[in-house]
Amino acid sequence: MSLEDVPNAPYVNEDGKSFLENAAKKAVKIARFTKKLTLGEDSGLCIDALMGAPGIYSSRFSGQGKSDEKNNQKVLRLLKKVPLKKRSARYVCAVALADKNGLIGVVGGVCGGLIALKMKGAHGFGYDPLFLLPQYRKTFGQLGPLIKHKLSHRYKALKKIRPIVRKYFQSQNP
């Protein structure tokens, strides 16, 4: 199931100070509402030259009327005079697991790279056309889903949550 399958799901205000807090808040609130085991996720892009921005504000970085295009253009504008070698960045993902009784666990995943000088590629979403993986000399937007999903911050976080999910089910069915 996804949240789209939950009619009248409560709104979760992402007002945490970290990806971990937001993921936990989402998981707990929806698990308590549905009475089902729930994964909550929060992720975004952190750019060192921007002191970690956009960070937890990644999806709404360009403000009202936000869009992936506007977010990417704002990043390029802010980094206009920053050389490629000083554009280090990382995608960060937090995944939380909760049930009707509360939070069970929270894990994180990180994928490091650089912010490209211009957008390249049509795959993915968000900042993928700007997120350059030096080892491939391509952006996530150019690499496509097969490679991205094996390297991404989400893949790494979901891989870490698997044993916690397994342990949960083992404890429910001893």
Residues designated as active site:
42
Question: By CB neighbour count within 10 A (0-12 exposed, 13-18 middle, 19+ buried), where does 67 fall?
Answer: exposed
2: DSSP letter: -
Sequence-distant (6+) residues with CB within 8 A of 19 are 42, 43, 44, 56, 92, 93, 94, 108
d(CA 88, CA 173): 45
Helix (H, G, I), strand (E, B) or coil at 86: helix
What is the DSSP code string of 37-50?
A: -EEEEEEEEEEGGG
Phi, psi values for residue 171, rounded to 5°: -70, -25
